[in-house]
Chain A
């Protein structure tokens, strides 16, 4: 009996001790990760301060371009690979920032769209801000069979409308994606052409036509 009680007692102590130890470990771990997070945040701040002192305004590119909105800040913090809940947060906040044309018209002229997809000018300090910017879609996407000089950062968009269907909801998706890519996939490499005023709504309509018009070379 005595032995038994002693056994139970020591088991209990071991259990409590174990809990205390693992509890301590968890606290220590929390402290560690809190410390790391604080250190990381301090490095981020120091890097930003260093950048602010290391750039100067030129042409249309003012130094405030170094500033980050919440999307840019979160994507940088997670090196473009955020956990699920942050991903959802970024997509939700960008959905709110995605505006569709009031008149409901989503398709423009695909021939104009092709010119916009080819043009890589715009927003660099060497570009004339008077000229309309391009979308440079070919830099990252295959679009037509005729243009063989295309990049591969984004998926091929060849036959986009033909394969997805020439349907209003697909046109709406294309418009929204081009207007604000972050609303559909957080930390995308694709610029937010509408949201960031790179392309005008009219230019986006032309590019949507390039993807969605059955007569466009994208769908031939």
Chain B
């Protein structure tokens, strides 16, 4: 009952936020209204991301893998088993792995090192689709939901973290492929649009904050919850680049760059999007 009320309240808040964010260009209003209608329908029952969050919580707590253990010893950066607030400080350097890791990389690490899965098994379905569910996306939903309302606080103080930030920045400006695109061409200036879609300036607050903090997100158009790894994968596709390898070093470096640019922003993820 109470949970339902809060759900409703949160949905109403999300909708109100979206109404504020949507630009009210005269010609765009019809399309905007249609999109809002779709959001409204999806929101009537709360954000469907909650289904992924619930499945992720089960996956986190269940004894799984060849070693039949739960993930409750997994250290996401704040200590073994601590989920609350963990997403707000990622990516970060982990001494045990001697690597900078984002949330997805760290989950894979725990599935391999605690539960005994092979890396291939852990990364088998990075993104869900019509006929397959992604465990990683569910875990991502669960973990990020536990940082909702908190401020992004990526310190990037370790030399490796600083290095990843600088490498990610280079990648952001790396033009290539048949269209000469880099992230900066679509996300390096204020108030740009492709067709009617707003393109946040990922180099400047507050746009960089509101963009990053709203991922992962439930995509109404896809009926799927999408992780930040997916967001990067799909923007590289639109950039006409080859396929970004899931949890690759470049994906983590770029995430480090974007996450730090979003510091101070309040996490609203998993949110709901077009």
Contact = CB atoms under 8 A, between A and B. Distances in A.
Interface of A: 43-44, 46-48, 50-51, 53-58, 61-63, 65-68, 71-72, 75-76, 79-80, 123-126, 138-140, 148-153, 182, 189, 191-192, 196-198
B166 A43 contact: yes
B73 interface: no
Interface of B: 27-28, 31, 166-167, 170-171, 173-182, 184-186, 188, 191-197, 236-238, 240-245, 248-251, 253
27 contacts: A44-B170, A50-B171, A51-B174, A53-B248, A53-B250, A56-B242, A61-B240, A61-B242, A61-B243, A65-B177, A65-B240, A68-B175, A68-B176, A72-B180, A75-B180, A76-B174, A79-B173, A123-B177, A124-B237, A124-B238, A148-B28, A151-B194, A151-B196, A152-B193, A153-B194, A189-B185, A196-B179
A56 B237 contact: no
B195 A80 contact: no
Contact of B180 (A67, A153, A196): A196
- Ranked 9 nearest A-B pairs via Cβ: A54-B250, A54-B248, A47-B170, A58-B243, A148-B27, A191-B179, A72-B175, A61-B242, A65-B177
B31 A149 contact: yes
B175 A76 contact: yes
A46 B249 contact: no
Given A47-B171, A151-B192, A196-B179, A56 B243 contact: yes
B161 to A, nearest CB: 15
A50 B253 CA distance: 9
Contacts of A198: 178-179
Given A55-B250, A148-B27, A43 B167 contact: yes
A47 B195 contact: no
Contacts of B244: 54-55
Contacts of A76: 170, 173-175, 182
